[in-house]
Copies of this chain bind each other. A is one copy, B any other.
Amino acid sequence: MINTANLQGVQNVVSQGIDFPSYLSGFFEGEGCFSVSFSRNIKYRLNWEVRPSVSASQNESRRQIVDSIQNYFGCGFIRRDLSDKTVKWECRSLNEIHSIILPHFDLYPLITTKNEDVKSLRKVVKMMSNKEHLNRAGLIAIVNIVKEMNPDGKRRIALTDILASMR
């Protein structure tokens, strides 16, 4: 769960009028990304590692919001992208996404179709918590959930290739 001491710290940097958790969801409505990627990795029995991710970027000149996200959630990491002068907060931990981040978006849900990505991520994270991504049927089910996510984004690996190259 969210560390309320962290929340107190964040709430101190914003105006008294702002409800920071609501503000954060508004920011993620525009700038957040809820995704699942696949990485070819022969250490995994099926050849593929499944990697859930929640992230948000901002121009370097406005990194205060990125720092506030990390303070609020108390997890994830921040890295600078020198190529486009942005700063990105990202959490890739299954456990932290499950126990800290998704509960926030349960209480303060997005209002657009991006909420469908949150719901899909929630399904995948639940399956992964049950180790279903380690068996063939589970991995196929995850690929089928992920192919509906982020319809406006680009995908680096074709999902059909994953299905074809599973051991």
A59 to B15, CA, bound (A): 29
Is there contact, CB below 8 Å, between B29 and A23? Answer: yes
Q: Which residues of B contact A114 (CB under 8 A)?
A: 62
Contact of A15 (CB < 8 Å), options: B17, B108, B112, B152: B108
Q: Which residues of B contact A18 (CB under 8 A)?
A: 22, 25, 108-109, 111
Given contacts A18-B25, A25-B18, A26-B22, contact A13 B111 (CB under 8 A): yes
Contact of A27 (CB < 8 Å), options: B27, B61, B109: B27
Q: How far is the CB of A15 from chain B (nearest CB, A)?
A: 5
Given contacts A15-B108, A22-B22, A22-B23, contact A29 B61 (CB under 8 A): no
Q: Which residues of B contact A85 (CB under 8 A)?
A: 152
Q: Which residues of B contact A28 (CB under 8 A)?
A: 26
Q: Which residues of B contact A152 (CB under 8 A)?
A: 59, 61, 85
Q: Does A24 contact B (CB under 8 A)?
A: yes
Q: Does A58 contact B (CB under 8 A)?
A: yes
A112 to B112, CA, bound (A): 24
Within 8 A of B (CB), among A85-130: 85, 107-109, 111-114
Q: How far is the CB of A124 from chain B (nearest CB, A)?
A: 21
A25 to B62, CA, bound (A): 15
Within 8 A of B (CB), among A141-167: 151-152
Q: Does A65 contact B (CB under 8 A)?
A: yes
Q: How far is the CB of A5 from chain B (nearest CB, A)?
A: 19
A21 to B22, CA, bound (A): 8
